[in-house]
Amino acid sequence: MAKVHVTTTINGEPMEFLCEPDDTMLDALRGPLALTGSKEGCASGDCGACSITLDDRLICSCLMLAVEAQDHEIKTIEGMAQGDKLHPLQQKFLEMAALQCGICTSGMLVASDALLRKNPEPSEEEVRFWLAGNLCRCTGYDKIVRAVMETAAEMRAQ
C-alpha cells in the first residue's frame, strides 16, 4: 500500500507523518509519532483508553483514520502537563490514588479535562455520565469521580 503523507497539529506543534490509508489515529500516535500515552484497550470505541481531542472535541483515536488528521488539530495526554508541571487533574489523580494499573488513566484524564473545559462545575452525576465511555477495571470509579470533582472545585477557587 502506498503510504499517505499527513500534515497536522499535535499538542500545538506542527507535525507530519506517513501512514497507511487504513491506519487509525491511534496507530499513528503509537507508531510513527511515538506518542504512546494513548492506550489501545478495545480498538472498538468502547473503553476510552485512546481518548484524544480533535479540534477540541473528545473522541476515541481508535475510531478515527490517521489520514483524517490532515489540517486538523489533535491534542493527546502528552500535551496535558506544562513541562514538569502536572495539570491539576494529573496532580489530583496522584494525590487521591485515582489510578491503579494506569491503562485507563490517560483516557480518563483527557476525558475529564474535556468535561471541565465545557462545564467547570459538573455534578457527580454529570461526571459519571461523561466518563461512561472510559472503562476502568481497577478502581471501581469512585476515586476517579472524586478526584475530578475535587479538581473542579479547586480550579474554580483559583
Partner 1 sequence: MTELRYLAPGTLDEAVGAFAKAGSAARILAGGTDLLVQMRSGLLKPGVIVDIKKIPEMTAIEQTADGGFRIGAAVSGMALAEHKNFGRVWPGVLEAVNLIGSKQVQGRASAGGNLCNGSPAGDSVPAMVAAGAIVTVQGPDGRREMKVEDVPAGPGRTNLKPGEILVSFTLPPRPPGSSDAYLRMIPRTEMDIAVVGVGVSLTVKDGTVTAARVGLGAVAPTVLLVEDAAKALIGSKLDDAALAKAAAACSAACRPIDDKRGTIAYRTRVAGVLLKRTVAIAAQRATQKN
Q: Interface with partner 1 by CB under 8 A: which residues?
A: 1-2, 4, 20-22, 24, 43-46, 48, 51, 54, 57-60, 62-65, 67-68, 70, 111, 114-115, 129-130, 132-134
Nearer to partner 1, 25 or 98 (CB): 25
In whole angstroms, how close is the CB of 110 to partner 1 at the nearest point? Answer: 9
Nearer to partner 1, 42 or 94 (CB): 42
In whole angstroms, how close is the CB of 27 to partner 1 at the nearest point? Answer: 10
Distance of alpha carbon 92 from alpha carbon 148, whole angstroms = 8
Distance of alpha carbon 18 from alpha carbon 99, whole angstroms = 34
489515529: which residue's cell?
A: 25
Nearest to 100 by CA among 135, 76, 136: 136
Nearer to partner 1, 63 or 86 (CB): 63
Nearest to 134 by CA among 102, 103, 100, 108: 108
